[in-house]
Structure 1
């Protein structure tokens, strides 16, 4: 495997990882920020008040975009399998 091909595969894999993780984490961060502002405004310092909405948001995000996430990973895997002859030969 040439260094250029390896760097190309690594770059593509890292970009897919960043996109997939961002799609799950960003909604949770937004909800966490909203809950934190609410807690600061009302002086409520309850840990479960910030944890539960973020957990539910993450689960809902996985439910709604799970198909897209799996499809993206499958497309990447199939592309890597199709590249095997080019990389080996």
Structure 2
């Protein structure tokens, strides 16, 4: 097994995971910030108020980004499968 190829494959997997999840993390951060701001302005300190908008935003972003996610995941999976032969060889 080629150690450099295995390390490179692991690095690519971690970077791809960050690449795919970053839009969702940023959206959840923005929604949390906006709902927290709205709660502090209106003095409504209900913990469950942040859950609804986050779930709704996540569902909408998932619908919008579904084609991109599927394309990116299939391309990455095929590249990983071709790189596995290099790692095993």
TM-score by length of 2: 0.89
In angstroms, what is the RMSD of aligned CA positions? 1.3
Moved more, 34-43 or 17-26: 17-26
Task: Output aligned runs, 1:1-89, within 5 Å.
Answer: 1-89=1-89
Structure with larger RCO (C-alpha < 8 A, sep 6+): 2
Count of equivalent residues: 89
Q: Which segments of 5 or more consecutive residues in structure 1 lack a partner in the other structure?
A: none
Runs (4+) off by over 2 Å: 83-89
Structure 1 residue 20: deviation in Å?
1.1
**How far 1:78 sits from its partner (Å)?**
0.4
> What secondary structure does 1:17 align onto?
helix
CA contact (8 A) 2:2 2:88 kept: no
Shift of 1:19: 1.2
- 2:9 touches 2:83 (CA, 8 Å); kept in 1? no
Q: Kindly tell me: are residues 44 and 87 of structure 1, through their superposed partners in 2, closer, same or farther at Cα, counting changes over 3 Å?
A: same
